[in-house]
Structure 1
Amino acid sequence: MANNASLKPVKDLKPFKTKWRSQVKVLHSWLQNTGSGGETLQMVLTDEQGEKISATCKRNHILSVQRKLPLGKWCVLTTFSVSQASGQYRPTSHPYKIMISDETVITNSDLIQDSIFLSLARYEDIIDGNFKTNFLIGNTFMSICYGKIVRLEPVQTVQVKGQDRKKVQFRLVDANGKDLACCLWGKYAEQLEAYVECEQPLIYLIRFAKISFYRGEVKITNAFDASIVYLDPTMEEALQFKEKLGEDELPLAVIEKKNGCKHRAIKLASNHDDNQLWRCEKRQVKITEVIPVFKLHLIVRDDTETCKLMLLNTVAKTIVGREVVDLWDGSYDEIEDPELLPEPIRA
């Protein structure tokens, strides 16, 4: 059992000695190539007060540190040095960072504390420039919990320095109507690729995000491999907002222009002329005309197993062989009874 009297909190760590002893756990880690310095292991550590500090070790110590200091486990670090934190994008605002060497001793701790220490940033502070752009936003909800995706564009493959990279762009609106532009690259874009045509609300959390500027607008992007993205997170803050979202959730349709461009529309109350009103999510204007699209839920079976599928407009139209507008009966309600399905779909 660790002698708590000898443990120093993260906020007290300074560069004047190497005999520090501190109880921490890893919130996040990633490999980073520093060029001439070779590959390093980068980490974000926290103490039980939620104070965070970055840490690093060189290539020859990576496997040992990963084994002794796994993600989410409390450990005691003994004999490590502390140096000035630097770099264009820093994962914490702590002025110093921990350097783990072959002299560092890593032992188990009996502390049990499962918190991931979220402290949610406000959109207003990001938009107004209250965060320094050389710091990553360590605990920012970019999600329906504190932001609703109002425009999720198709995933694109673009050339960056002669290599193909995927990217996806979207905007998020929080409960106060503030919105942020977001752009994710690489594996983060691929995570969202399956959801581009999904009409269901997305719960989305990105930690250690980078603040950038594009054409005079603040934009949130992933910081290379240093960011963490959660789809449909289960922490209490997310569940509370998801419950609230369910109370306010409205039916969705898709606006389709003649050139095939689609934007979702939210169903509003009818006006005094009993005309159905919708709000275009992209342009935030009220409209009276929308075009329905397919969203078919199927159970398919072969000689071994059954599985569930969801077919969206383009694929569904190819299989059904008819335009959805030809089968639409004017109702905006989802059809759940298979006996009420139009004959082309049942066939």
Structure 2
Amino acid sequence: MATKMQIQTSKDLNDQSVVFGDLKPWKNTWLVHVKVLHAWKQYIQSVETMEFVLADETGQKIHATCKRTYIESKGRILTVGAWHYLRNFQITPAGGAYRTTDNTWKMVFNQNTVITRSNHVNDELYLNLTDFQSVLSGTLDENFLIDVLGQVMDCADVENIQCTGGKQRKKLEFTLSDINDLRLPYCIWGNLAEKLHSAINQEAGMVTTLLRFAKLGRFRGELQISNAFDASQMIINPSIAEAEAFKELINDDDKTLTSFQSNEDSQEDNNKQGDQSEKRGQRDKWLLFPTKSIQEMITSTQVSSY
């Protein structure tokens, strides 16, 4: 249970706090004022941690990690969407794959970390939207997760995929378009697949989606966007200025949501399709999973050589 010291209402702390750009690893007594953008539990080689993406008042972001030992006493205090003051934590180099921010450093909570509530209210999401042209250029570093916003143009059915170890995961393939009609293929897994498919079936008219902390990958040499396990967030038809501006520039009459069928579903279907595999609305399935070792799945919570 959190102590009174950890959850007391803050006063005058903002005068002493620093922004993320001032953080350096040579001391651990920093004080920062942060908004919790995202939080999730992570399991790497049976080691449980709680991960966070935090923003300061300037919009800079940093990744933070909380070891299992401190999840109950510290990690659970950090409510997504709320502002807090954090005092006394370690600063270490950020590295590895699936990094949620481009910050050089990451934050690690320890037994001396103190978390104090802030009365500050701000609904800013601190988005860093990546334009489709940058993604398609192939020049982006695939170690970093990105924010992408677009209109759903086509969508397959949710599939149950048999994975290694006998587990099943749900998968959904779809395509997003931007205001310039550039299109990106997507493949999302788990609860996000069901969430989007349900929204598409229920919504009348255009469906836009914001996928935060999404990962870049390749399938048969072509770029694809996917969710990075629980590190990714999806918001359907978000009520944000960027989405409203996007909608105003889209002509619904020219962009109608369609469905498609994979051309690898079954041998019988393949025989029926024959030479129609090039028809509009059909495309190959994604691989069940990218070929990754466990070490390559590690996000910015560890520094490793691959």
TM-score above 0.5: yes
Q: Are residues 243 and 175 of structure 1, via their aligned partners in 2, closer, same or farther at CA, if it must alter by over 3 Å?
A: closer
Q: Which structure has the larger Rg?
A: 1
Letter aligned with residue 182 of structure 2:
K
> Contact 1:20 / 1:79 at 8 angstroms: preserved in 2?
yes
Does residue 16 (structure 1) correspond to residue 19 (structure 2)? The answer is: no
3-state SS, counterpart of residue 112 of structure 2:
coil
Q: Deviations over 1:267-294 (max 9, x none)?
A: xxxxxxxxxxxxx9748xxxxxxxxxxx
* Structure 1 residue 191, shift from structure 2 partner: 0.9
- Provide the rounded CA distance (Å) in 1 between the counterparts of 2:241 and 2:258: 32
State the 1:123 CA deviation: 0.6
**Match for residue 162 of structure 2 among 159, 168, 174:** 159
Q: Secondary structure at the match of 2:100?
A: coil
| Structure 2 counterpart of 1:140 | 148
Question: Counterpart of 2:68?
Answer: 59
Q: How many residues align?
A: 255
Q: Which amino acid aligns with 1:124?
A: Q
Mean Cα deviation higher: 54-63 or 198-207: 198-207
Q: Distance in 2 between matches of 1:253 and 1:45?
A: 35
Amino acid at match of 1:46: A
Q: Which residue of 2 aligns with 1:93?
A: 102
Deviation at 1:92, TM superposition (A): 0.6
* CA drift at 1:184: 0.3
SS in 2 for 1:40: strand
* Counterpart contact for 1:136–1:210, Cα < 8 Å: yes
Contact persistence 2:88–2:114 (CA under 8 A): yes
Change (3 A) 1:214 1:232: same
Which residue number in structure 2 is paired with residue 190 of structure 1?
Answer: 194
Check the 8 A contact 1:153/1:196 in 2, yes or no.
Answer: no
**Between 102-111 and 220-229, the greater mean CA deviation after superposition:** 102-111
Match 2:180 to one of 171, 176, 179: 176
Asked if structure 1 preserves the Cα contact closer than 8 Å seen for 2:66 and 2:75, the reply is: no
Q: Which residue does the alignment assign to 1:344?
A: none
Secondary structure of 1:194 counterpart: helix
Shift of 1:253: 9.1
2:117 to 97, 108, 121: 108
Secondary structure of the residue aligned to 2:71 is helix
Pick aligned residue for 1:236 from 224, 241, 259: 241
User: Which position in structure 2 is the counterpart of 1:220?
Assistant: 225
Q: Closer, same or farther in 2 for the Cα pair 1:104/1:152, shift >3 Å?
A: same
Shift of the 256–24 alpha-carbon distance from structure 1 to 2, 3 Å rule, reads closer
Distance 2:79 2:139 in 1: 33
> 1-side partners of 2:71 and 2:25: how far apart?
22
User: Which residue of structure 1 lines up, in the alignment, with residue 14 of structure 2?
Assistant: 4
SS of equivalent residue, structure 2 residue 172 = strand
Contact 1:2 1:109 in 2 (8 A): no
- Residue type of the partner of 2:161? V
The alpha carbon displacement at 1:203 in A equals 1.5
Structure 1: state its 5+ residue gaps.
262-279, 284-347
Name the CA distance, whole Å, in 1 between partners of 2:217 and 2:195: 21
Q: Which moved more, 1:126-135 or 1:40-49?
A: 126-135
The answer as to whether partners of 1:210 and 1:221 remain within 8 angstroms in 2 is yes
- Structure 1 position 6, deviation (Å): 2.2
1:2 aligned partner, one-letter code: D
Cα distance in structure 1, aligned partners of 2:218 and 2:228: 14
Query: Cα distance, 1:255 vs. partner?
Result: 9.4
- Structure 2: unaligned runs, 5 residues or longer: 1-10, 262-268, 274-278, 283-306
Q: What SS class does the counterpart of residue 74 from structure 2 fall into?
A: helix
Q: Name the residue aligned to 2:41.
A: 31
Counterpart-to-counterpart distance in 1, 2:17 and 2:37: 19
Cα distance between partner residues in 1 of 2:97 and 2:108:
18
Structure-2 change in CA distance of 1:110 and 1:195 (3 Å): closer
Query: Counterpart of 1:170 in structure 2: which amino acid?
Result: F
How many Å separate the matches in 2 of 1:254 and 1:175? 18
**Conservation of the 8 A alpha-carbon contact between 2:211 and 2:235:** yes
Partners in 2 of 1:100 and 1:150 — Cα distance? 42
